[in-house]
Chains A and B, each alone.
Chain A
Amino acid sequence: MKEILCIDDDELDHYLSENAIHSVSEDIIVHKAYDGQQALSCLREDKICPEIILLDVNMPRMNGHEFLKEFARTHDGRIPIIIMLTSSDQKTDIDLSMQYTFVKDFLVKPLTEEHVKKIQDIMESLAAGE
């Protein structure tokens, strides 16, 4: 696991996520986007290839659900694993995002070291399955 893209409108949440990720491994590169649209243009134009995307739901301009819809529609190439990271644990939010096969988990903020380790486990089991 080398690159992660965090999509969140809150600077503080970015700080907390980055902190948790780096406490597990200093080597992981963390990219930031502040809403769905910015994330899409990062992925398209800057050609970053994160293996994992951490996605918030409630954001200005383009929220998490809108991002998923747009991303599923337009993305070509290898689809990264998406993990929802949000302060919402509403069933509608969970159901709406988990219907995409590339969404692998639904975590409640803030990101912790345990979360990061869990993500690593998911990655490993997926890699073993391939």
Chain B
Amino acid sequence: MDRSLKPSLNLSLTLRYSVALIFILFILFSTYLINMYNFSRAEHDARIINISGMQRMLSQRVALMVTKIAENPNNQKTQPYLEKLEGAQTRMRQNHEELKSRIISESQNSDLYQLYFEDDGIDSQMQHYLGLASDFLKLYKAGDYNAEKAGSLSNEITFIAADGFLQKLDRAVSLYEKQAPGNLQNLRTYEIYFFVLGVLVLISEVLLIFRPMVREIVNKTETLSNRNKELTEFSYRISHDLRAPIRSVLGLVGIMEKANEKGDREKADEAFRKIKPALMNFERLVEDIIKLNKMSVADIPEEEVFIPAVIDESVKAVENILANDKVQIVVNTDIQHSCVMQKLLLRQILENLISNAIKYYDPEKEVSKLEISAHERDKKYIISIIDNGLGIPEDFRHKLFQMFQRFHPQKSFGSGLGLYLVKQSVKALKGDIRYVPRPDGSEFILTFPGKNI
């Protein structure tokens, strides 16, 4: 009966799951990217700190080499020093270009930028220092060695190296060191954002996917186990109720046989007269069982119906079968339009309720009445069936719509399936049925949604 609900819930769960998976994928991917960026950034920072430290060391090495060479101008030993000096000077220039371009590309307002490019900053001092070193080297390479010039260049180089230049390079290193954790701090903030986002996705997964899914499973299991219980009860009752009338009829036949043997014609006739009603009851029961099975298996077609007309048809059908001459039936309705619905179900419900009202009329009342009213309110149809019959004792109302319940001993013509059938039909119509006791009888209120044309 809730077949229409299942696929849509499945679909929406699938949709929600897909969205959640996309989110999780996004978070995983982003975290991966951030981590990768983090690593390369940390690597880069380490390298920069390393290079800036190397500059500090190279500035001192240049000065040392220059001093050594100047002390022994003609010694054979100067050759390796010259090579070392040239290597240090080249390296220092390359490093400087790398650091400089990075500072320019990153930020023009930082302390580092200022340290490099202020008047007499690292950049100008470096150019000057490296210029002096290369002038010094040229003296030896070109072969026009001039001791005096070499001495003054050497003095100037060592002076600069020992003076402010070293402190500036020192300061650059510490600025680089300070900057590195700052870079990481930004990334940490992103990581926190993604962590929070991940937690939110998990929470919404629990609320929007897990919970409805569990609820759905629990509901379905419950419905299934109820249905199963009902079926077990049903098959038990069926076997019981089918066997009973057959045995009874066999009993009657046995009485007839014995009476005939004894020549008791009266007794034989008495037993014989009881056979037909017993078999008719049996047939009614089988019919009800067949109806019940049909209803759960077959899909009853929807058709265009005018509800007041269906009520009239049902009343006529029941009155014909029961040869009703005891109960006055009144129908009033303000329904104007036709609607689309499963007409057969409505007829089954109405015929059951009307025939109950006729079967269980109260012979002690002067006039027996049955009033059927049908109205349309807010796209719902409401049909009320009021009788002044025997009513249903309070203790048994809770069993009203269960299988195989009969409430009027000695008047038990029914199979005990009628109101159970009604309940099943109402369920199939996605409607509701209520029993309302009245001081002089019963009222059944049937509500169900209608599709207007």
How many contacts between A and B, using CB within 8 angstroms? 65
Asked if A60 and B243 sit within 8 Å, CB to CB, the answer is no
Place the interface of chain B in its size category.
Answer: 20 to 34
Asked if B244 and A109 sit within 8 Å, CB to CB, the answer is yes
Asked if A110 and B410 sit within 8 Å, CB to CB, the answer is no
Q: How far is the CB of A12 from chain B (nearest CB, A)?
A: 5
Q: Mark A1-39, 1 if CB is under 8 A from B, else 0.
A: 000000001111101100100010000000000110010
Asked if A9 and B409 sit within 8 Å, CB to CB, the answer is yes
Q: Mark B408-440, 1 if CB is under 8 A from A, else 0.
A: 111010001000000000000000000000000
In chain B, positions 216-265 with a C-beta closer than 8 Å to chain A are 236-237, 240-241, 243-244, 247-248, 250-252, 254-255, 258
Contacts of A61 in B (CB 8 A): 393, 395-396, 407, 409
Complexed CA–CA distance, A72 and B363 (Å)? 36
Asked if A9 and B248 sit within 8 Å, CB to CB, the answer is no
Q: Is B278 an interface residue (CB 8 A)?
A: yes
Q: How far is the CB of A16 from chain B (nearest CB, A)?
A: 4
The 9 closest A-B pairs by CB, nearest first: A34-B409, A60-B406, A110-B251, A87-B244, A16-B251, A35-B409, A88-B240, A12-B248, A34-B410
Q: List 26 A-B contacts (CB under 8 A).
A: A9-B406, A9-B409, A9-B410, A12-B248, A13-B248, A16-B248, A16-B252, A19-B255, A23-B258, A34-B409, A34-B410, A35-B409, A58-B241, A58-B404, A61-B396, A61-B407, A87-B241, A88-B236, A88-B240, A90-B236, A90-B240, A109-B251, A110-B247, A110-B248, A110-B250, A112-B254
Asked if B248 and A109 sit within 8 Å, CB to CB, the answer is yes
Contacts of A98 in B (CB 8 A): none
> Which residue from chain A places its CB closest to the CB of B237 in the assembled complex?
A58
Contacts of A23 in B (CB 8 A): 258
Complexed CA–CA distance, A115 and B395 (Å)? 35
Asked if B274 and A9 sit within 8 Å, CB to CB, the answer is no
Most buried by A among B237, B254, B404, B405: B254
Q: Is A59 an interface residue (CB 8 A)?
A: yes
Q: Mark A74-101, 1 if CB is under 8 A from B, else 0.
A: 0000000000000110100000000000
A59 partner, pick from B241, B250, B252, B409, beta carbons under 8 A: B409
Decide: A16 near B240, CB < 8 A? Known: A10-B248, A60-B409: no
Asked if B255 and A16 sit within 8 Å, CB to CB, the answer is yes
Contacts of A60 in B (CB 8 A): 396, 405-409, 412, 416
Q: How far is the CB of B242 from chain A (nearest CB, A)?
A: 9
Asked if A87 and B255 sit within 8 Å, CB to CB, the answer is no
Contacts of A10 in B (CB 8 A): 244, 248, 412
Determine the main DSSP class of A at the interface with B.
loop
Complexed CA–CA distance, A38 and B393 (Å)? 14
Contacts of B396 in A (CB 8 A): 60-61
Contacts of B258 in A (CB 8 A): 23
In chain A, positions 86-130 with a C-beta closer than 8 Å to chain B are 87-88, 90, 108-110, 112
Place the interface of chain A in its size category.
Answer: 20 to 34
Complexed CA–CA distance, A127 and B365 (Å)? 51
> Which residue from chain A places its CB closest to the CB of B407 in the assembled complex?
A60
Contacts of B393 in A (CB 8 A): 61
> Which residue from chain A places its CB closest to the CB of B406 in the assembled complex?
A60
> Which residue from chain A places its CB closest to the CB of B395 in the assembled complex?
A61
Complexed CA–CA distance, A60 and B395 (Å)? 12
Q: How far is the CB of A23 from chain B (nearest CB, A)?
A: 8
A12-B252, A88-B240 given; name 4 further pairs at CB < 8 Å. A34-B410, A60-B407, A109-B251, A112-B251
Complexed CA–CA distance, A15 and B217 (Å)? 52
Asked if B274 and A15 sit within 8 Å, CB to CB, the answer is yes
Asked if A58 and B240 sit within 8 Å, CB to CB, the answer is yes
Q: How far is the CB of B63 from chain A (nearest CB, A)?
A: 107
> Which residue from chain A places its CB closest to the CB of B255 in the assembled complex?
A19
Most buried by A among B237, B258, B278, B412: B412
> Which residue from chain A places its CB closest to the CB of B251 in the assembled complex?
A110
Asked if B406 and A109 sit within 8 Å, CB to CB, the answer is no
Contacts of A16 in B (CB 8 A): 248, 251-252, 255
Q: How far is the CB of A92 from chain B (nearest CB, A)?
A: 9
Asked if B412 and A9 sit within 8 Å, CB to CB, the answer is yes
